[in-house]
Structure 1
């Protein structure tokens, strides 16, 4: 179990590095190029809209991977505890 967790962390960190260092930088470069090429009508430029969407998707993927890495590195012990609804709790005072 510990080995698979370690392997998964290593894989996630590698994927995160690739997304941040390569794909996101490339997408941001395309975003900037499309913005500059469109001039004042950047809102109506299909290339800019596509680049904007790509950047948004990559940022969401990066955030999701970071959350998964965080949950593997720092598991929340409270997350596995069953919750008792307030109505079922007894008053201890």
Structure 2
């Protein structure tokens, strides 16, 4: 995937973060949780939705995000959602555009 053809939304919270020994791939499986509360379905649902739209989920803070000016590590978990841009949708105006 070319970075130019993708859009990335990185969401960071100020919670406890991901456990250091956690397997990121396993955390997106249904019913997996490292907390006392919760169903372990949240990231699994997000992953399914992203895959249905040819996207992907990345857990952890990517290096490019850490390098951005003004990046403020809140100490929690970061989840990056990556989706392909559809060039035709960006270039072609709607049929009823005047």
Scaled by the length of structure 1, the TM-score of the pair is: 0.30
> If you compute each CA radius of gyration, which structure gives the higher value, 1 or 2?
1
Say which structure is richer in strand. 2
Higher helix proportion = 1
Higher relative contact order by CA 8 Å / sep ≥ 6: 1 or 2? 2
What is the TM-score of this pair, normalised by structure 2? 0.30
